[in-house]
Each structure stands twice: as C-alpha cells, then as structure tokens.
Amino acid sequence: DENECYEVFVRMQDENRNTLLPREFLPAAEKAGLMTAVDRWVIAHSIKAVTQQRREGKPTVLFINLSSASLKDEKLLPWLRDILKAAKAEPNSLVIEVSENVASSNLKSLKMLFEGLAQLHVKLAIDHFGVAANYANLLKHSGAHYLKLDASIVTALSSSQDAQEKVNEISALAVADQKKLVANAVEDPHTLATIYSTGIDYIQGYFLQEPTPVMDYDFSSMG
C-alpha cells in the first residue's frame, strides 16, 4: 500500500496533565450521553491532522473508531459531509471503524452508515472481528472494506491451531468478498512470523510501534 496507515487513539489529560486511558474516562462519557460529542471531536481533529500530513506530501490514511451512539446518530453523516468539504480533505484518507459487537447489534444502522460513507468516499472497517458467532454473515452484509481481527485471535496465532484455522477461514471469505484483512495487536516476532503464512493484508501493533503523539513511523523499514 502506498498510503501510510494509522489508527487514531484518544487520550485525556487530568488536572495535573497526567494521561488517562479510554477505560478511565469513556465510561463516564457514555453514561453522560456525551459519546457523539467525543466522536465528533476526534473525527474533526483527525481530519485536520490527516489534511496536514497530505499537504506535507505524506499520503496518510487514518482509521477512526466510532461508538454505538454515533452509529445510530442520524445527524452524523451530514455533519461529516460538511466538515470534509470545509477542510477540503480527501475523503479516501479516512476509514471509520465499528466494533463487531456494535455492528452485529445494529445491522440496519450499519447498512445506512456504509451507504452514507460510500457517497462521501469514506471507507468502513469492522474492528474486533471474528469473535461473534455470526461473523461470516456480518462479513457478507456489512459492506466493510477492512476486517480487523480481534486481538484474542491474533495473539493466539503462534500457539493455537484453532486460531490459525479460523484466520485461514476468515481470510478465504475476505478474499472472496474483496475485503482486506488486518491483524491487530501484533506484539511479538513469533506472531509476526506466523502471520506471514496467512492471507492477512495488514499488520498493526506495539511490536511495530507503540502509540505516539506524532505520525512518524518509518514504513520503508517494512519493505
């Protein structure tokens, strides 16, 4: 891929400027009904960042997580259309991610999101994929361009024959449906070595690089 792909992670600073992880503040945001506001803040800042990257000659693509609240938000797509236009952003620089659990529980909303994103030339990914009992059905009907394997499957690849067989099965389904497969949570060289024998298209994880405030990974090192 000629693009430089990153996933967007959100962090929060407390009053002492200590960094808080999502598990420490997102549950409160969900309880307070603020997740659509959080998602829009993340998307807006992501569009600004990826536009700047491309102005500097770096063909960057950002994967952005979406909450279940935003998936069901009918105002999200018109807002996204307007902000993309205002920023003069290249739409194909964004991929919206929805977790498998949320997608499986909201198939109607997922279909509407996919159709709306397609009109904006923004792609869709299903995250934490391969855990739900109906993942094959979701793969067929989601319209997603990318399938990001759940970390539990990826971390078991180097030691579990069952995990390897599941990945091979998902890979075959993905190829037949022209979807790209992403191995998330690649944390050690043993997992990476096992991945090379599968049909996985992309790899992601701390073994490559831990999250940083800047997009400075040397993608040429993987050539």
Model pLDDT for residues 64-74, shown as the tens digit of each residue: 999 999 999 99
Distance CA 201, CA 192 (A): 12
Could you tell me where the DSSP H helices lie in the chain? 22-31, 35-55, 68-71, 76-87, 100-105, 107-119, 135-142, 151-155, 161-176, 189-195
- Name the burial class of residue 88, with classes exposed (0-12), middle (13-18) and buried (19+) by CB atoms within 10 angstroms of its CB: exposed
Distance CA 53, CA 118 (A): 23
Phi, psi (deg, nearest 5) at residue 20: -105, 135
Mind listing the pLDDT tens digit for each residue in 2-44?
A: 899 999 999 999 999 999 999 999 999 999 999 999 999 999 9
pTM of the complete model: 0.94
Query: Could you tell me if 96 and 121 are in contact, meaning their C-beta atoms sit under 8 angstroms apart?
Result: no
Please report, in tens digits, the pLDDT of each residue of the chain (223 residues total).
889 999 999 999 999 999 999 999 999 999 999 999 999 999 999 999 999 999 999 999 999 999 999 999 999 999 999 999 999 988 789 999 999 999 999 999 999 999 999 999 999 999 999 998 888 888 888 889 999 999 999 999 988 999 999 999 999 999 999 999 999 999 988 888 888 888 899 999 999 999 999 999 998 876 5
Residue 223: its pLDDT value, please? Answer: 56
Closest by alpha carbon to 43, among 4, 2, 89? 89
